[in-house]
Structure 1
Amino acid sequence: MSIPPFDTLSTPNVIEPFDYEDVLAELIADAQQRLVAAGIEWDVGMLETDPVVIVLQGFAAREMLLRARINDAARANLLAFAAGSDLDHLAAFYDVARLADETDDRLRTRTRLTIMGRSAGGPEERYRAVVLGVSTRIRDVAIWREVTDPTVRVSVLTTEGDGEADAALLAAVQTALERPDIRVVSDRFVVSSAVQQAVDVTMTVRLEATASASILTDLPDLIAADWLTESLLGLDLTHSWLIAHAMRAGVTRVEVVSPTGDIEVDSTKAIALGTITIIDGGRGR
């Protein structure tokens, strides 16, 4: 079961939009009705130096602060919006505790997986939540079975280096999944790193006549950094991706020498970029 992103949901009705000018207009209209009822004539069109208008402006400003605080309180009780200690308390209701240095987004994801894993839709979501709860070093995880085999395969992608998981982290994941309160009796786990191959890349790059030669030196690090910002599980390494990310300011042409074709991976694996070699393709348009 995939997790629909929060941004596909409409804004909750409990979070009320408001505008200062609208609030002030409502207060002025109410004040006018009350004054008329008391037999007091008051010209709404008077200057803003009118004492009544000045007082109502103060009330409008205070009401804006009050409405904003109510909206903040409403957000604090919604998983999509809760942050900081409010999110900690919301997650604790589902027996989820923040890891050291864990971001709000990651804790929010684990909490949602834990909730889903308690339903009939589990235990894939439950197992994902357990793995992500092992360490903030874990960036993503894939959980799947092959046919009717009771073996549960776990593919771990890390936040470090090229994403490859080391033996100690894989062992920690295995231990967490094998806990009696986590493992379904018939399940057996095979835990491995999502990154199982590193691909060396060679590209020929042509520069504009006035472009700095340092571009050729900088490109390997820039491309490698861009790759790590992607959602790597299941991401194919394609010539089009490499060319798009090598086309920086000052670059006029990029030709991928190797790999000779696109490299495809399934949704449970990730590719690591190995050595990136840039060949000087000369100058020109």
Structure 2
Amino acid sequence: MNNVFTAINLQGLPLPNLIKPISPEDELLEIRAEFATKFPANHPIHAALALESEPVNKILEVLAYRYSLKVSEVNRTARSLMLAYANGADLDHIGVTYYRVQRKILQVKDLTTNPVTPEILEDDTAYRDRLALSVEAETKAGSAGAYLFHALSASAQVFNATVHSPAPTEVDVYLSGQIDGDVLEQATKTVGVDQSAINEVRTALTADDVRPLTDLLRVHSATAKSYQISAVIYIKSGISPSLLLQQGLDNLRAYLRSEFKPGRRIATSRIIGALDVNGVSRIELISPATDVLVDVSQVAHCTSYDIKAMSSND
């Protein structure tokens, strides 16, 4: 079971052929060219088409724009039927209809508190990943994917998990907790889960229809491997450093969230890649100096960051 399971990467799938590119400008050129063929070469309409101010051109522009809106709506409808691209209520319907899996409730709504405690559900990315993983739960042979799906579904505290088999018939499941606030600012936060979550996951994984009788199962809360990020982003002259810094930080947060899992290293190349948005001249990554390596029981835990952006003539 060790290192043999690879989840499907839905984000890595190419766009299906059903999704058509949208370009009102290209559509206008095609409509204008086709429209012109309906008239003889000496017809005055050709001179009119050469002038942007002519009413006929405005009509064709509206036609091209309206056609692009229709293509966009067809694309949106097509996306809503695909697991890799559906969002919100569309994704909920796919999950319940085809996978029989509901979105996980992270926080139950409580009307007795003041103010009212709102209901918080898992986001689309986490739900989509669980749906793709749910087919693994159909096996009764104790696959790593099955253990992972049931572990992710058992407790609202669990953000991610890693299944590890140190020896035949032995299974260790390590749990990382929900990210509390900014993934770049976790100094006072814990990366694991409490005992109640461990108990919930253990109960789910030791059910008769989940765990093979021969498996010795252990469930653990992950521990932290702390590190800090320090970098300087040099921006090409004439571009707003603050704007590109925000784009880079958004990319970096997305990367760190995806790797907030026991046993996942943080690669310096991926940090630089996240910060290297269009308009950046170069990046000086001060720390970490090398990849943040963790063992299977640890989660890479960013406790602070110092990332500056400044203009450069390089």
TM-score range normalised by the length of the shorter chain? 0.5 to 0.7
Amino acid in structure 2 at the alignment position of 1:41: H
Which piece of structure 1 moves more, 153-162 or 93-102?
153-162
- Alignment check: 8 A CA contact 1:162 1:273 kept: no
Amino acid in structure 2 at the alignment position of 1:79: L
Q: Secondary structure at the match of 2:73?
A: helix
Amino acid in structure 1 at the alignment position of 2:299: A
Which piece of structure 1 moves more, 125-134 or 178-187?
178-187
CA deviation string 1:188-214 (max 9, x = no partner): 42111122x787x9xxxxxxxxxxxxx
The aligned counterpart of 2:74 is 70
**1-structure distance, mates of 2:225, 2:57:** 70
Amino acid in structure 1 at the alignment position of 2:30: E
**1-structure distance, mates of 2:84, 2:17:** 14
Deviation at 1:64, TM superposition (A): 0.7
- Alignment check: 8 A CA contact 1:32 1:42 kept: no
For 2:134, which of 100, 114, 119 is the aligned residue?
Answer: 114
**Which of the pair has more CA radius of gyration?**
1
For 2:43, which of 32, 41, 50 is the aligned residue?
Answer: 41
**2-structure distance, mates of 1:87, 1:237:** 30
Aligned residue pairs, count: 225
Deviation at 1:133, TM superposition (A): 1.2
The structure-2 alpha-carbon separation of the partners of 1:33 and 1:120, relative to structure 1 and needing over 3 Å to count, comes to farther
**2-structure distance, mates of 1:112, 1:163:** 25
The structure-2 alpha-carbon separation of the partners of 1:18 and 1:270, relative to structure 1 and needing over 3 Å to count, comes to closer
The aligned counterpart of 1:153 is 172
Q: Secondary structure at the match of 1:79?
A: coil
Identical pairs, percent: 27
Q: TM-score, length-normalised on structure 2?
A: 0.61
CA deviation string 1:107-143 (max 9, x = no partner): 0111111134447997211221111112342121111
Q: Secondary structure at the match of 1:182?
A: coil
**1-structure distance, mates of 2:302, 2:65:** 55
For 1:15, which of 16, 19, 30 is the aligned residue?
Answer: 19
1:179 to 2:183 alignment = no
CA deviation string 1:140-195 (max 9, x = no partner): 111122322x2322111112532122111111111112233333343342111122
The aligned counterpart of 2:102 is 97
Runs (5+) with no aligned partner, structure 2: 106-120, 181-188, 228-252, 268-285, 305-314
Amino acid in structure 2 at the alignment position of 1:143: V
1:135 to 2:137 alignment = no
Q: Counterparts in 2 of 1:1-285, with a 5 A limit?
A: 1-36=5-40, 41-46=43-48, 47-92=51-96, 93-100=98-105, 101-118=121-138, 123-148=143-168, 150-159=169-178, 161-195=189-223, 231-234=260-263, 265-270=294-299
CA deviation string 1:12-42 (max 9, x = no partner): 2221112111111221222223344xx9934
**2-structure distance, mates of 1:273, 1:14:** 41
- Alignment check: 8 A CA contact 2:160 2:177 kept: yes
Query: What is the RMSD computed on CA atoms of the aligned residues?
Result: 3.6
Amino acid in structure 2 at the alignment position of 1:164: G
- Alignment check: 8 A CA contact 2:260 2:299 kept: no
- Alignment check: 8 A CA contact 1:6 1:80 kept: yes
The aligned counterpart of 1:283 is none
The structure-2 alpha-carbon separation of the partners of 1:121 and 1:44, relative to structure 1 and needing over 3 Å to count, comes to farther
